[in-house]
């Protein structure tokens, strides 16, 4: 079955073509980072308009790259939520219009299920069951995964998501959006031990997270350095490193707890923050000690992309699941 995957939940237009036997045939992404750069965050209306401009050309591009015609497509998966409602509507409208014209099934899928299953696109995919750490700009969740659609929420952030914390820390350090990769790059020049940030909620039982205190701690540290006239490039790098180390440690401690609690040996990390090298290294060290292993997607499939939506949709379309005639757009949608 040849599936077209469409992702438009936020600021990336992602399209992919997946054959459920041959695997991924082609994928393309247009990032709107430049569109929103002057605003310090994603402007929803600009995002929707840009998806309108880019989506059909990207669909044609992946078809051309794979040597296929529109009429070869046998099913369409699009992100139905969670996300920005206008942005979601663009993907849903195009998916349904194409599906109607081609008389093929169309299915709206959950964006976080897409992230969760993205590591399945790699050569050595994890077997079920596993524990998944979903860390994106909007979510920080620990989920037990027993199969497609068999998800048990083990814990989640009670306030900010890990990616959001990275983005806010970046702003305080004078870095542009999206901040995660920029904080990580700056942290590479940081000196260990100059600052120590707290590891929130690790001193009590449970698998929930909280990152808003870390944000305040970062702000206070930045302000103190400014007041002391010390806020130079080196100190910024030291703060970036201390911040990143605190997030990574916190996530690692909770992941270890989740593996111990469930008895699972496999840990999957997904979502934008799973591209973070320090996080990958920390989790690999921790799981190795437990005799387990970590699975993640290639960096381009950690952040938003069409391939993960094609994959998640394929699992369900194959079983006969499909939308009715209505476009499904669910801005807030628990998994």
Interacting residues with ligand KG4 (CB under 6 A): 10, 115, 136-138, 163-164, 166-167, 178-181, 184, 271-273, 275-276, 303-304
Q: How far is the CB of 195 from ligand KG4 (least distance, A)?
A: 18
**Is 135 assigned to a binding site?**
yes
**Is 115 assigned to a binding site?**
yes
**Is 134 assigned to a binding site?**
yes
Kindly tell me which of 157 and 276 has the beta carbon lying closer to ligand KG4.
Answer: 276
Kindly tell me which of 8 and 252 has the beta carbon lying closer to Zn ion.
Answer: 8
Q: How far is the CB of 230 from ligand KG4 (least distance, A)?
A: 25
Kindly tell me which of 180 and 292 has the beta carbon lying closer to Zn ion.
Answer: 180
Q: How far is the CB of 251 from ligand KG4 (least distance, A)?
A: 11
- Distances in whole angstroms, Cα of residue 208 to Cα of each of 13, 158, 159, 251, 263: 31, 7, 10, 10, 18
**Is 158 assigned to a binding site?**
no
**Is 290 assigned to a binding site?**
no
44 touches which of ligand KG4, Zn ion, none (CB within 5 to 8 A by kind)?
none
**Is 31 assigned to a binding site?**
no
Kindly tell me which of 136 and 221 has the beta carbon lying closer to Zn ion.
Answer: 136
Distance CA 182, CA 166 (A): 9
178 touches which of ligand KG4, Zn ion, none (CB within 5 to 8 A by kind)?
ligand KG4
Binding site for Zn ion (CB under 5 A): 136, 304
Q: How far is the CB of 177 from ligand KG4 (least distance, A)?
A: 8
Kindly tell me which of 104 and 177 has the beta carbon lying closer to ligand KG4.
Answer: 177
Q: How far is the CB of 236 from Zn ion (least distance, A)?
A: 27
Q: How far is the CB of 334 from Zn ion (least distance, A)?
A: 15
**Is 72 assigned to a binding site?**
no
Kindly tell me which of 26 and 134 has the beta carbon lying closer to Zn ion.
Answer: 134
Which residue numbers belong to the known binding site? Answer: 111, 115, 134-138, 167, 180, 276, 304
Which residue numbers belong to the known binding site for substrate? Answer: 134-138, 167, 180, 276
């Amino acid at each position: 079955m040849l599936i077209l995957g469409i992702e438009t939940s936020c600021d990336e237009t992602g399209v992919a073509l997946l054959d459920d036997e041959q695997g991924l045939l082609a994928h393309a992404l247009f990032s709107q980072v430049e569109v929103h750069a002057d605003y310090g965050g994603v402007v929803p209306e600009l995002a929707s308009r840009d998806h309108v401009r880019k989506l059909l050309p990207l669909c044609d591009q992946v078809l051309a790259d794979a040597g296929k015609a529109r009429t070869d497509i046998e099913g369409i998966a699009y992100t139905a939520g969670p996300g920005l409602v206008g942005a979601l509507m663009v993907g849903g409208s195009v998916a349904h219009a194409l599906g109607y014209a081609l008389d093929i099934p169309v299915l709206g899928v959950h964006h976080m299920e897409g992230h969760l299953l993205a590591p399945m696109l790699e050569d050595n995919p994890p077997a079920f069951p596993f524990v998944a750490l979903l860390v994106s700009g909007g979510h920080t969740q620990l989920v037990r995964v027993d199969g497609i659609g068999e998800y048990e929420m083990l814990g989640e952030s009670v306030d900010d998501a890990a990616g959001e914390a990275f983005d806010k820390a970046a702003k305080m350090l004078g870095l542009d959006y999206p901040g995660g990769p920029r904080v990580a790059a700056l942290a590479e020049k940081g000196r260990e031990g100059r600052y120590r940030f707290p590891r929130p909620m690790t001193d009590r039982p449970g698998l929930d997270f909280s990152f808003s205190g870390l944000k305040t701690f970062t702000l206070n540290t930045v302000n103190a350095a400014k007041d002391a006239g010390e806020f130079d490039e080196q100190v910024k790098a030291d703060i970036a490193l201390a911040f990143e180390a605190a997030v990574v440690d916190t996530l690692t401690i909770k992941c270890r707890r989740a593996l111990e609690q469930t008895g699972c040996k496999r840990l999957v990390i997904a979502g934008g923050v799973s591209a973070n090298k320090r996080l990958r290294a920390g989790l690999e060290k921790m799981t190795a000690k437990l005799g387990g292993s970590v699975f993640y997607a290639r960096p381009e499939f950690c952040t938003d992309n069409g391939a993960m939506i094609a994959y998640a949709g394929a699992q369900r379309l194959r079983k006969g699941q499909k939308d009715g005639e209505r476009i499904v757009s669910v801005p807030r949608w628990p998994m």
